[in-house]
Amino acid sequence: MTSSSIGLKILMAVTGILFVLFVLAHMYGNLKVLAGEEAFNTYAHHLRTFGEPMLPYEGLLWGLRIVLILALIGHAYSAFTLWSRAQGARSQKYAVKKAIGSTLASRTMRWGGVALLLFLIFHLIHFTIVKPSVNSNYPADQIAGNPFLMVVGSFELWWMVLLYALAMVALGMHLYHGVWSASQTLGWTSSAKSRGVAKTTAHVVAAVVVVGFLIPPFAILFGIVKG
């Protein structure tokens, strides 16, 4: 199934929906920064001990990580395969490349997707693998075991907020067009009414994700949330 273009599109749509669910849950979790140090650190701790002793320590987290890694492989594989097929299908370049009726969001899907992949690599190094000590206002020994201080220390730096803000705008555009495309692939846009619902859902998901993710960094930058 995955060798046919429609199979690849379905794979991209389904893995994309998984990402939307993850991103919404992650955004909700991050908003707990607003509830203060204890609430956020308790939440971060619960993520790791959830389901114990049935599950091992970090069992839920590892389950989620495996699902996300598989989804990322499927999403990127189908995107790159469809991309190279679209290029290979035409030996001569178009005289006018810009498709009529295309939006900025749709034209930036491919390179926007690559930019998001680079952001994700940076983000995992930043918060999960290395944990900030250079990119933070607080020394490494204070940050160790204190996720709240780790996040606050990073977003007290204006350039870090700027970097995340740019990434979230890219994410918003990708999500807007992605939700719309997935709706088309899955056959949810056959009537004028369902097209309207899909467009509105795409707008709402993109807006909620961008605003929801950016509230904590800006609240920290403006001193509303302090370390």
With binding defined as CB under 6 A, does residue 20 bind ligand HEM? no
With binding defined as CB under 6 A, does residue 3 bind ligand HEM? no
With binding defined as CB under 6 A, does residue 9 bind ligand HEM? no
With binding defined as CB under 6 A, does residue 153 bind ligand HEM? no
Q: Which of 112, 132, 172, 217 binds ligand HEM (CB under 6 A)?
A: 217
Give the residue carrying structure tokens 């509105």.
Answer: 200
With binding defined as CB under 6 A, does residue 170 bind ligand HEM? no
- Looking at the Cβ atoms of 7 and 63, the one nearer to ligand HEM is 63
Q: For the range 27-32, what are the long-range contacts, defined as Cβ-Cβ under 8 Å and sequence gap of 24 or more?
A: 27/208, 27/209, 27/212, 27/213, 28/212, 30/151, 30/212, 30/213, 30/216, 31/212, 31/215, 31/216
| Contact residues for 15 (Cβ-Cβ < 8 A; gap 6+) | 71, 72, 74, 75, 78
- Looking at the Cβ atoms of 28 and 99, the one nearer to ligand HEM is 28
Q: Which stretch binds ligand HEM (CB under 6 A): 3-11, 99-107, 191-199, 210-218?
A: 210-218
- Looking at the Cβ atoms of 11 and 209, the one nearer to ligand HEM is 209
Give the residue carrying structure tokens 């389950």.
Answer: 63
- Looking at the Cβ atoms of 189 and 210, the one nearer to ligand HEM is 210
With binding defined as CB under 6 A, does residue 176 bind ligand HEM? no
Q: Which of 24, 114, 120, 208 binds ligand HEM (CB under 6 A)?
A: 120
Q: Calculate the alpha carbon distances from 181 to 7, 13, 188, 199, 202 in Å.
A: 14, 8, 10, 10, 9
For residue 137, the SS3 value is: coil
Q: Which stretch binds ligand HEM (CB under 6 A): 9-17, 75-83, 87-95, 212-220?
A: 212-220
Encoded one letter per residue, x for contact with ligand HEM by CB under 6 A and - for no contact, window 23-62 reads x--x---x-------------x----------------x-
For residue 46, the SS3 value is: helix
Token pair, residue 145, equals 């075991």
**Sign of the torsion angle spanned by Cα atoms 124, 125, 127, 128:** positive
Chain residues that interact with ligand HEM, rule: CB under 6 A: 23, 26, 30, 44, 61, 65, 68, 120, 123-124, 127-128, 147, 151, 164, 168, 171, 213, 216-217
